[in-house]
Structure 1
């Protein structure tokens, strides 16, 4: 990148070859990037950078030569053309990057009259570029002229045959062909073009080509033809709209070229017109299919989200929009019990009913996926209230649809409603709000729910916790904690109960009940419950505590076909006696239709594991299910002093004792509560009233 000073001054220290190569490579990379944005380069980026690095070195050498080597600079400009860097801005971008590099290069700082030398070199570079570009264009034009001359000579030799061939192609072509003068006046048109335009060839010959094009496309087509005639465009191929005799627009592809005489002067234009109407219709159909549900014909979620943004923006500022998010109740039973074909008919029926309900409101109805539908209503002064519209939906859906003339099928739906959201709400945020509102209504058993900002904030908070639960478990933030079960008569420790404890960095300690609820929402209930069972047994065995271990099972665990095998493995691995392990079965799980939990508790009794029944509220279950202990239902315990509850509760305790089962109560907060339960004959108590830590085990 450096050379000896042109005036013979003391030689300066030369940079290393490696440093010079790096600078040239950096300049070439920047230069290559800039020119690649201005023209199509038929070379790889590595090839361009290598060539431009060589040109950069030649230009640097030309600057420091005495006098400046303008011939070498001109050759470099010509080489740039040979590399096909011939875009409209290729030379300007090149001069910019080279000028800055030559003037700022530290190694050239000592060169006298550096700016003057750079100007001379870049001027020669530009001159060489222009001369080579001119020669290149000239060669191309000469090649075209020679080709046309050769064609003309051959045409003259075979004039009769060629004319016959042309006439055959012109007349028999399936594509429309028009021969026009340079102004577009039609000289000849074949039958295919006449058929496409529903005109006769004579009618077309009385017009110009631009009279056959849609008015909105005329100016663009004129400009393209001017470019073609001027030689700035070698061949034209563009999509334009034709107008038939009946005025209907038709999409067509124009392919035009110039017919020149022997000396290359443009004489006529030959235009081939292909009718693309069917292709255009197919493209529109495919686009429609991409944005609409194939089964119901309704817009799909993608279309709905896009349109929702527009409706939000254009809505009446005072009235806004209302979004209804529907999820059909029990639709899987229709599919499973009556077949998917009938299920599809039901979905189509729901789509039709929703369109009927909202037709007066000019609403957008969409199928969001599966059995979910969305409706957005631009509110006006005449739009009914939310309650009225919800009632219309439920009433319309409740109308049975008869299949095969005898089977009536009706559906219901849970509905989440977001009324008048802020206009700056994004479609994604709005759909998420409606979905959370819908899920809240389903959780509470309501037919519909209205978006509530505070409840929405709470739900989002809970969903965020649930989503991070798996990571927290993996990181060890979720641990096993323990609380004691105290004998109601002696006050001695009668057992310990394992419970989940989440040490959340922002929320603090999240209790067992919260962990179980969040785990149920994320599918972690079974693996996390199994982990707690095994971990608690291992820790109890390691601590050498000789009291029973109670682990409350989730409904999923209680019905897990692998539960018995898992418990056998725990007992074998820890060495705990079977009567020391007391899994707590939720009472509702034992009476479930599947019967899996009932089978599990019976098999466990056979191997010596004395299970407990939690949520105990009916003594009849003890006649069927073996249990060593029952835990009073939390609902009954909370209402223990109500006149209608106290008596039956005492009878329930007596019935449990009569069946040979101990009775426990959780959630005891005060000594008075403990005394009340002791008077009723309860055997074991646990809760905040008993803060004693189980020896050697972490408290919950």
Structure 2
């Protein structure tokens, strides 16, 4: 019987439910116990319960194993001589099944507890924010990192609506993302937005949001995993600004000027005109040669400061596009008179001597090439080239002068 039983269990075993190597020894011992219990007086079926539990502890948990077990054990019934052997055998099988199922349930519960404990360790100690929300957007649970991120105590977060933590200007965007997710009933969405802390500070967060099933598979929940990206956003802004500003003067550079031009072109209406005034310092190389490049840099920085202080406004952008060249961009509406006024102001600003050392100011002059041109549908680089052409004409006309070049219309 032990040989037949162990062979049947081996046939049923597969993968993680494979029988142990000493299966023959185990089945022999169990048959002895069950045979003794079947013929004992008074009758006590409890050993069968213990055998069922030991089967689970021996990793004999494949669902198919119970059928050959019952078939093999009918041999005990054939050996028994008690008048009530059939009832006793039925009781033994019932206790065997009870012990087996009870131990199997306990193994499952223990495994769930271990899994829950492991999840809790990960949840509580994760470096990222993890939060679970119900279908109304109310926080069901949030880990300590989430609490630190939003500046709240962990015990105060459950019951708080996620939208209430967001910056008012970003709530509609988040609401639409969540609505889209629930309408699809599956998938993942990425969201970046601002959130407000109780201390009044506004920070940036990035979240990956996924729909998951609630306990028992009932209802949908929103799982959000996020991080504080305030520093990253600040660094991105700084890098963006550095890429678009001249480090010496702090003025916008050629890239920034071109982007502003492109924005004006995109929004321009028929008939809108812009002005561009290119300024180039006359004989700036002499300053570098006589006083050194450090002095030359200080002169450029001072010229940039003066031009910015004198001209910069919501309609005029002053930029340094390289070397000793500066540009004033006049947004629409612009005409010849406006360009003339800016060009003359630029020349007058440069005429004031610039100190390069104690008691040693440097007198300068400049040339300005200006262009007034239609902007709708124009090419930003072509506009800059036209203004550059005006600058060359001004240089040819002599020091301290300006020349107006009319784009497309001639002149």
Q: TM-score, normalization: structure 2?
A: 0.62
Which of 355, 367, 370 is the equivalent residue of 2:308?
A: 355
Change over 3 Å in CA distance of 1:317–1:256 after alignment to 2: closer
- Whole-Å Cα distance in 2 between the matches of residues 411 and 342 of structure 1? 14
* 1:343 aligned residue (267, 284, 296): 296
* CA shift for structure 1 position 253: 1.8
- State the SS of the aligned residue for 2:157: helix
Equivalent of residue 284 in structure 2, options 321, 327, 331? 331
RMSD: 3.7
Partners of 1:305 and 1:404 lie apart in 2 by: 35
What corresponds to 1:393 in structure 2? 346
- 1:315 and 1:447, CA in 2 relative to 1: closer, same or farther beyond 3 A? farther
- Distance in 2 (CA, whole Å) between partners of 1:427 and 1:247 is 42
Shift of 1:415: 0.5
Which 4+ stretches in 1 moved above 6 angstroms?
152-155, 315-319, 379-384, 454-458
Which residue is 2:141 aligned to? 188
Count of aligned pairs: 303
Match of residue 115 from structure 1: none
In 1, the alpha carbon distance for the partners of 2:333 and 2:408 equals 28
Post-superposition shift, 1:267? Answer: 5.7
- Please say if 1:219 is aligned against 2:172: no
1:108-141, Cα deviation, whole Å (9 max, x unpaired)? xxxxxxxxxxxxxxxxxxxxxxxxxxxxxxxxxx
Distance in 2, matches of 1:361 and 1:253, equals: 33
Residue 368 of structure 1 corresponds to 321
Query: Contact between 1:178 and 1:187, CA under 8 Å: does it hold in 2?
Result: yes
Q: What displacement does 1:393 show? A: 1.9
Q: Any idea what SS the aligned residue of 1:416 has?
A: strand
The answer to whether the Cα contact below 8 Å between 2:272 and 2:332 also exists between their aligned partners in 1 is yes
User: Out of 170, 195, 205, which is 1:252 matched to?
Assistant: 205
Contact 1:313 1:423 in 2 (8 A): no
Query: Where does residue 51 of structure 2 map in the other structure?
Result: none
Q: How does 1:544-559 map to 2 (within 5 A)?
A: none
Match of 2:192 in 1: 239
Secondary structure of the residue aligned to 2:250 is coil
Identify the residue that residue 231 of structure 2 maps to in structure 1.
278
Aligned equivalents of 1:212 and 1:342: distance in 2?
53
CA shift, 1:274, in A, is: 0.5
Counterpart CA distance in 2 for 1:199 and 1:188 is 13
Please name the residue that 1:175 is paired with.
128
**Partners of 1:239 and 1:397 in 2: CA distance:** 46
Matches for 1:310-459 after TM superposition, within 5 Å: 310-311=263-264, 320-359=273-312, 362-378=315-331, 385-419=338-372, 421-424=373-376, 425-452=378-405
The Cα shift of 1:443 comes to: 1.9
- Residue-by-residue CA offset, 1:560-586 (whole Å, 9 max, x unaligned): xxxxxxxxxxxxxxxxxxxxxxxxxxx
| Number of the residue aligned with 1:205 | 158
Structure 1, gaps ≥5 residues long: 1-151, 459-700
Residue 260 of structure 1 contacts residue 266 of structure 1 at CA under 8 Å; is this kept in 2?
yes
Q: C-alpha separation between the residues in 2 aligned to 1:453 and 1:378?
A: 16
SS of residue matched to 1:205: coil
State whether residues 174 and 191 of structure 2, in contact with CA within 8 Å, keep that contact through their aligned partners in structure 1: no
- From 111, 116, 122, the equivalent of 1:158 is 111
* Residue pair 1:414, 1:438 contacting (<8 A) in 2 also: yes
For 1:361 and 1:182, the matched residues in 2 are separated by 46
Cα displacement string for residues 506-552 of structure 1 (whole angstroms, at most 9, x for unaligned residues) = xxxxxxxxxxxxxxxxxxxxxxxxxxxxxxxxxxxxxxxxxxxxxxx
User: What displacement does 1:167 show?
Assistant: 3.1
**CA separation of 1:386 and 1:291: change in aligned 2, threshold 3 A:** closer
Distance 1:374 1:454, change over 3 A: closer
Confirm or deny: 8 A CA contact 1:361 1:377 kept in the other structure.
no
Check the 8 A contact 2:280/2:368 in 1, yes or no. Answer: yes
- Report if aligned partners of 1:321, 1:376 keep a CA contact under 8 Å in 2: yes
In structure 2, the CA distance between the partners of 1:445 and 1:200, relative to structure 1 (3 Å rule), is: same
CA distance in 2, matches of 1:363, 1:242: 35
- From 216, 230, 241, the counterpart of 1:288: 241
Cα pair distance change 1:319/1:273, threshold 3 Å: closer
Contact 1:292 1:298 in 2 (8 A): yes
Closer, same or farther: CA 329–365 of 1 in aligned 2, 3 Å: same
Retained in 2: the 8 A contact 1:312–1:320?
no
Tell me, in whole angstroms, the C-alpha distance in 2 between the residues paired with 1:454 and 1:429.
Answer: 10
Partner of 1:483: none
**What whole-Å deviation, never above 9, does each CA across 1:401-424 have from its counterpart, x for those lacking one?**
3234344234322110123x2244
Specify which structure has the bigger relative contact order, considering alpha-carbon pairs within 8 angstroms and separated by 6 or more residues. Answer: 2
Aligned-pair CA distance for 1:305: 2.2
Taking structure 1 as reference, are residues 308 and 155 closer, same or farther at Cα in structure 2, changes over 3 Å only?
A: farther
User: Secondary structure at the residue paired with 2:343?
Assistant: helix
Query: Is this contact kept in 2: 1:417–1:448, CA < 8 A?
Result: no
Counterpart-to-counterpart distance in 1, 2:177 and 2:209: 11
Taking a change above 3 Å as real, the CA distance of residues 157 and 405 of structure 1, as seen in their structure-2 partners, is farther
The whole-number CA distance in structure 1 between the counterparts of 2:115 and 2:369 is 75
With structure 1 as the length reference, what TM-score do the two structures score? 0.38
Q: 1:374, CA displacement in angstroms?
A: 0.8
